[in-house]
A and B are shown apart, each in its own frame.
Chain A
Amino acid sequence: MPETVSTENSHSADAVVRIRGLHFSHGDRVIFDGIDLDIAPGRVTAIMGPSGTGKTTLLKLIGGQLRPSSGSIRVHGEEVPALNRAALYQLRKRMGMMFQSGALLTDITVFENVAYPIREHSRLPEALVRDLVLMKLQAVGLRGAADLMPSELSGGMARRVALARAIALDPMMVLYDEPFTGQDPISMGILVKLIRELNDALGLTSIVVSHDVQETAAIADYVYLLSHGKVVDHGRPEALWDSSSDWSQQFLEGRPDGPVAFHYPAPNFREDLLHGGRAR
């Protein structure tokens, strides 16, 4: 178990992740335009929003892989953008992240992938490493695939291995980027249950990024809806369903028209067609 829980900044200590006034841009494109967000400990918090709103970007900001242009991101009371490398790595050992693409190391087997963080950060005897890895793989239903190479896995399987790897070090917080995409109904159901059970049994804090509204709402204690660089709505899932916001209603029910734009920002379609020859 991780040793230290920072007691610094105790007035907001009840939030594991506390984001205030977050601004971030990729070049000229503004991704976040002033976001406030709190992740409560021991809960499953879902972050939902249309494709391309910056959900993955938000997880990378929390993990310290990207730096905000302004605003504060506190994780366990530590200001992430201000941490030096060593402190950041110390913090990351307490976080597990499941990447959208899986991000498995392609030159080693599934078993070695899950063993990787354990071997890197501890000096456990081989027999113990083996037991730990097999336990994690068993949890995601892929113990039988331990000797396969990542190239021999389907997308959904790769993501489950990535999940096993994310929890390999028994972190305090796990960030899941689209855990349900590409899963068949059965493994989806198992994953949904697994995320919830891991959270409760191990006392984790979980952040689930997803657009699978039903599944996510089923396990989330709290939901944030992001769009256009802002938090458009947040609350307990039941409350959101009854929300008066048109935006939330449209997104949660998946209706094609409403305030949520399906299109990436673009000039007027008619203009674009008529002036088709212009330089892009």
Chain B
Amino acid sequence: MLDALQGLGRTTLDFFERLGRGHLFLLQTLSKLPGMLLRPRLVLVQLYSVGVLTLVITVVSGMFVGMVLGLQGYNTLVDFGAEEALGVVVALSLVRELGPVVAALLFAGRAGSALTAEIGLMKATEQLSGMEMMAVDPVQRVIAPRFLAAFLSMPLLAAIFSAVGIYGGYLLGVGVLGVDDGAFWGQMQSAVDLRDDIYNGVIKSIVFGFVAGWIALFEGYDATPTAEGVSRATTRTVVHTALAVLGLDFVLTALMFGE
């Protein structure tokens, strides 16, 4: 009984300690961002490995998700004779929800896990310590450019996901199922609102990019410096990012479209 209580206390303490470390880490990272203006090359290299290398999986997934939306949307709408509205359904689902959320989940699996493993291994092999002893700040040199790259690429990836998805819905709906071309685009154009839909979607993806980058980098930086520690940190990155993204999506949706 006492043991159980003790265990509970310890777990709670550990949790809050980690939470504190995570926030300190975030503050430290944010304080180094202005310095990145002087070293744009560092960020560019990371934009490539974080953003560009995630592009393929994003485009392919976006295409499939868009086609599924086209198919499902058509089957439902056609019962009401409203298949003209297919463009609206596909575009709104993607821009408001699926684009930011699915792109963030893919990002966690592809780029987030890689970031955690990379940083964790650098820690385990004393590369971060080595930099510190060379008077090079690893947060400045290693963490900040990666964070910025994650933060910048997430909205772009989400936008690409949505755009490709809409095109997938178009291919299926107009090309295969015979929805009217003009109605598909026309209804979409009049129904999708720049502020309510597009901006809100972009805000979501900015928040998700921030959180995904933070979690991935912190897990790597805070990993136990062993092979096992790094592998556990990598798993945690994917799980925690997925939970955080879905939870935040609910909160943001409630705030944006609540009323």
A binding-site residues for B, Cβ under 8 Å: 60, 63, 65, 85, 89-90, 92-93, 95, 97, 99, 101, 103-106, 116-117, 120-121, 165, 169
Contacts and interface: CB of A to CB of B under 8 A. Distances in A.
5 contacts: A63-B132, A92-B133, A103-B130, A165-B134, A169-B134
A99 B137 CA distance: 17
Contact of B126 (A90, A92, A101): A101
Given A60-B129, A101-B126, 16 more contacts: A63-B133, A65-B132, A85-B137, A90-B135, A92-B133, A92-B134, A92-B135, A103-B127, A103-B130, A104-B130, A105-B131, A117-B134, A120-B135, A120-B141, A121-B135, A165-B134
A65 B131 CA distance: 11
Interface residues of B, number: 15
Nearest to A175: B133
Interface string B120-164: 011001110111111111000100000000000000000000000
Contacts of A90: 135
Contacts of B129: 60, 65, 99, 103
B135 A116 contact: no
A89 B137 contact: yes
A85 B32 CA distance: 14
Contacts of B125: 101, 103, 106
A60 B130 CA distance: 11
Contacts of B141: 120
Contacts of A120: 134-136, 141
A104 B133 contact: no
Q: Interface of chain A, helix or strand or loop or mixed?
A: mixed
Nearest to B137: A89
B135 A99 contact: no
Contacts of A63: 132-133
A89 B130 contact: no
B136 A99 contact: no
Contacts of B136: 116-117, 120
A158 B22 CA distance: 33
A97 B137 CA distance: 15
A86 to B, nearest CB: 10
A121 B122 CA distance: 21
B116 to A, nearest CB: 16
Interface string B90-122: 000000000000000000000000000000011
A116 B127 CA distance: 12
Contacts of B133: 63, 65, 92, 95, 97, 99
Contact of A104 (B127, B132, B135, B137): B127
Contacts of A101: 125-126
A108 B208 CA distance: 31
Contacts of A89: 135, 137
B118 to A, nearest CB: 9
Contacts of A92: 132-135
A116 to B, nearest CB: 7
Contacts of B127: 103-106
What 3 A-B pairs are tightest by C-beta distance, nearest first? A103-B130, A103-B126, A92-B135
Contacts of B137: 85, 89
A89 B121 CA distance: 24
Contacts of A116: 134, 136
A116 B135 CA distance: 11
A99 B126 contact: yes
Nearest to B141: A120
Contacts of B135: 89-90, 92-93, 117, 120-121
A165 B136 CA distance: 13
A106 B125 CA distance: 9
A53 to B, nearest CB: 19
Contacts of B122: 106
Contacts of B134: 92, 116-117, 120, 165, 169
A117 B152 CA distance: 29
Contacts of A93: 135
A58 B142 CA distance: 26
B131 to A, nearest CB: 8
Contacts of A99: 126, 129-130, 133
Nearest to A92: B135
Nearest to A91: B135
